[in-house]
Amino acid sequence: MNTTLQNTPHGWMGLGTWKSSPGVTKDIVFEALASGLCRHIDSAPVYQNQREVGEAIELYVKDINGGKREDVHVTSKLMTYSLPPEKFEEETKRQLKELRIEKLDLMLLQWPVTTSGSIEAQWKALERLVRKGLVERIGVSNFSRKKLEQLLRCCEIKPSVNQIECHPNWRQDDLVEFCKENDIVVQCYGPLGSGDQFSSDGLNRKRSGAPPLSNHIVVELAEKYGATPAQICLNWAVFHRGTVPLPKTVNKERLRENKEALDIVISSEDLAKIDSIEEQYRLQHGSFHTGPTKEFKTLEELWDED
């Protein structure tokens, strides 16, 4: 696999804010920015904490000596199941106001849902956001290889990012390689396996082994290198896979631990051992987009899987 680093403008790792509760999001985002531990913030309106993300960014820019907006990389998303393309500009302006910034660094289509407009129409609306100066770059989230191939055939501005679930128990090797071949950065949500989602089944797969942080290969590497299992997974995601992990935390010590994962020197041979973890298992099912009355009747249709 090609291991060329697909670096973002502000580092190889971002801070995820999904499930960061109101009341704590502002503090952890501000800590990430002010301490310099992370300047890449991933957000979305559906996370219901975007106002706090904006307050933290504003506080960093206004109250920190040397704090600059250009030092912060802000990602947001459009949940398109109820938002038609003609409303993208209005919604983007609303988000910019909530985030207290004048331009978004990256806007993603959060799911490949077309109930309110085709992917082609949605993408053209995103391209207009770029041309109007509201958004710097555009991309997608939760797109399969098949859906990306369809998008690449009709776009004028190529997607710069595909944000997908990706961790040692769901490597998505083919999709990651396809993205690299097409100069699409892979951002990984749930890079540590999202322990609170490690459920019993999904896409008819039954659990048979340990989740990433307790997998014996990851644990053995952590012991060998004096690291935590989480640090091993993040180091693997960045230096072996060339992807951009987006670990979520509201703990300041964990934030520092995540950053220090990139300082650990691990042999390529040892990191490659993680690629041998046989059990592959999706945690973010996306089942809320499937059903008799939905666009996708089954999870297999949503993810284009057997």
Q: Give the burial string for 167-200 (b: 16+ CB within 10 Å, else e).
A: bbbbbbeebbebbbeeebbbbbbbbbbbeeebee
Give residue 196's pLDDT.
Answer: 53
Kindly state the tokens that stand for 208: 């048979």
How many CB atoms neighbour CB 37 within 10 A? 18
Give the other-Cβ count within 10 Å of 113's Cβ. Answer: 22
Residue 141, phi then psi, degrees to nearest 5? -140, 140
Helix, strand, coil content of the chain in percent (nearest 5):
45, 15, 40
Tokens of 93: 């302006």
Residue 210, pLDDT score: 73
Query: If you count DSSP H runs as helices and E runs as strands, how many of each does the chain have, helices first?
Result: 11, 10
pLDDT of 288: 81
Mean pLDDT by 10 residues, the chain (306 residues): 38 86 91 92 93 95 85 94 95 97 97 93 98 98 96 96 95 96 96 65 57 93 98 96 94 94 96 93 82 88 82
pLDDT recorded at residue 185: 96
SS3 9: coil
Question: What confidence score (pLDDT) does residue 144 get?
Answer: 96
Selection from 201, 270, 194 nearest residue 232 by Cα: 270
Q: What does CATH list as the number for 15-303?
A: 3.20.20.100
∠ CA 38-14-155, rounded to 5°: 135
Query: Would you state the pLDDT for residue 3?
Result: 35
Beta bridge partners of 8: 11
**Domain edges within the chain:** 15-303
Q: Is the backbone of residue 64 left (phi > 0), alpha (psi -120 to 50) or beta? A: beta
Computed on alpha carbons and rounded to an integer, the radius of gyration of the chain in Å comes to: 19
Catalytic residues: 47
Residues forming a β-bridge with 189: 165
pLDDT score at 10: 40
166: nearest Cα among 275, 49, 256: 275
pLDDT for 63 equals 82
